[in-house]
Amino acid sequence: MSGPDERTIPGNTLAVQADMPFSGLTTFGTSFLSKFECSQMPHPLLEHITFVDTPGVLSGEKQRTQRSYEFTGVTSWFAAKCDLILLLFDPHKLDISDEFKRVIGSLRGHDDKIRVVLNKADQIDTQQLMRVYGALMWSLGKVLNTPEVSRVYIGSFNDKPVKESAVGPIGKELFEKEQDDLLSDLKDIPKKACDRRINEFVKRARAAKIHAYIIGHLKNQMPTMMGKAKAQQKLIDNLEGEFAKVQREHHLPAGDFPYVEHFREALGGYSIDRFEKVKPKMIQAVDDMLGYDIPELLKNFRNPYE
């Protein structure tokens, strides 16, 4: 990221710096922060954009070696705050390992930010490239669980010239066009940053509203006197059914609801009986904000990068 001079800051120091956006990473503990660091340097590009690089995803035998921190939790934290996510693939290593599957799973809800990059594509000939591309799309379709096809950029993204002997003149032209497309996508990030922030804010507001409805509903299902532990367990076991009831009662879209398994896991550590009841005034305030305040804000909001 941008800085006054060239230096590297260790993770534990970064997490306590008030002017840095990394204080939330303290929840992952020193086992993660000791492996996290920030490189700073003065550069005009870095005044508008920050790059986050993750370590390589484990595959094969290495997967048996456990990381000392929650890798998918960290990637999920960064995914919620970034503007663009690049998934890098190598034509010689297309297999999506179990850890990579979990990483891609942790990016759910941020599908619009994901771009897939097939790098080092000039190391194979055109015929092999067609097969590799097909195999990659098939693998991604199974992991992403969406009928929509992901945008894949093909090329050799380094500072060396494309190997024309392997891919031929058509391949060289294709790679150059793909590289231009990816660069224009990256250049658009600062322009879209303001819209993205409002988009994330609206997403979080809707999630908070649905969370309040779910918690209020679960609280109402609890008995006043006896059998609270049994009633709580029954509600947790039948969480899908309870979500459906809330959805029907308040006419809410199913796509806004949290993942059942994750919610069930989190709910196990709390006593439902101690939850607050829903305050209709607060829900109304969120609705008014989404219906009137945000559109008004957008009218007055000019993009500083235009």
Within-domain flag for 305: no
Question: Is residue 34 scored above 70 in pLDDT?
Answer: yes
* Owner of token pair 């002997």: 165
Angle at the Cα of 69 (from 73 to 23), degrees rounded to 5? Answer: 65
CATH number of the structural domain spanning residue 74: 3.40.50.300
What is the rounded distance in angstroms from the CA atom of residue 176 to the CA atom of residue 155? 8
Q: Are 277 and 216 in contact (CB under 8 A)?
A: yes
Contact 243, 214 (CB under 8 A): yes
Distance, CA of 121 to CA of 115 (rounded, Å): 16
Q: Give the pLDDT of residue 38.
A: 93
CB-based burial, 207-221: b 16+ in 10 Å, e otherwise: eebbebbbbbbbbee
Is position 173 within any domain? yes
Kind and range of the H or E run holding 39: strand 37-40
| Strand ordering across the sheet containing 85-89 | 85-89, 114-118, 152-154
Residue 185: closest CA among 303, 83, 91, 45 = 83
Q: How confident is the model at residue 262 (pLDDT cuts 50, 70, 90)?
A: confident
pLDDT at 6 over 90: yes
- Give the integer Cα–Cα distance in Å for 121 and 153: 10
Each residue's pLDDT tens digit, 100-131: 888 888 887 787 788 888 888 777 777 787 88
Name every residue whose Cβ is closer than 8 Å to that of residue 114 and which is 6 or more positions away in sequence. Answer: 85, 87, 107, 150
The answer to which of 30-39, 142-151, 164-173, 245-254 has the lowest mean pLDDT is 164-173
Residues 180 and 264 in one domain: no
Calculate mean pLDDT across residues 258-269. Answer: 83
Judge if 44 and 71 occupy the same domain.
no
Residue 31 lies inside a defined structural domain of this protein? yes
Does residue 250 carry a pLDDT above 80? yes
Residue that terminates a domain, selected from 51, 66, 85: 51
pLDDT the model gives residue 109: 76
Assess whether 33 and 74 both reside in one domain. no
* Residues 52-88: tens digit of each pLDDT: 998 877 665 555 567 788 888 898 899 888 888 888 8
**Residue 33's domain spans which residues?**
1-51
Mean pLDDT of all residues belonging to the chain: 82
Domain boundary among 160, 188, 216: 188
Q: What are phi and psi of 109, to 5 degrees?
A: 95, -10
* SS3 state at 57: coil
46 within domain boundaries: yes
153: tokens are 């950029």
> What does R_g of the chain's alpha carbons equal in angstroms?
23
Q: What is the pLDDT of residue 52?
A: 92
pTM of the model: 0.73
Distance of CA 224 to the CA centre of its chain: 40
- Pair (162, 244) in one structural domain: no
Both 69 and 151 in one domain: the answer is yes
Burial class from Cβ neighbours inside 10 Å (0-12, 13-18, 19+) for residue 75 reads buried
Structural domains in the chain (count):
3
Alpha helices, DSSP H, located in the chain: 11-16, 29-33, 71-81, 98-106, 126-144, 164-187, 189-221, 228-237, 239-250, 260-267, 280-288, 294-300
Considering 29, 51, 73, which residue would you say is the last residue of a domain?
Answer: 51
What share of the chain has pLDDT > 70, as a percent? 90
Does residue 170 lie within any of the structural domains? yes
| Structural domain contains residue 88 | yes
Q: Specify whether 43 is located in the same domain as 68.
A: no
Judge whether 61 lies within some domain.
yes
**pLDDT confidence band for 136 (50 / 70 / 90):** confident
Token output for 142: 């199974």
86: Cβ contacts below 8 Å, ≥ 6 apart: 115, 116, 117
Residue 36's identity, in one-letter code, is F
Is residue 32 one of the residues assigned to a domain?
yes
- Residue 89 pLDDT grade (very low, low, confident, very high; cuts 50, 70, 90): confident
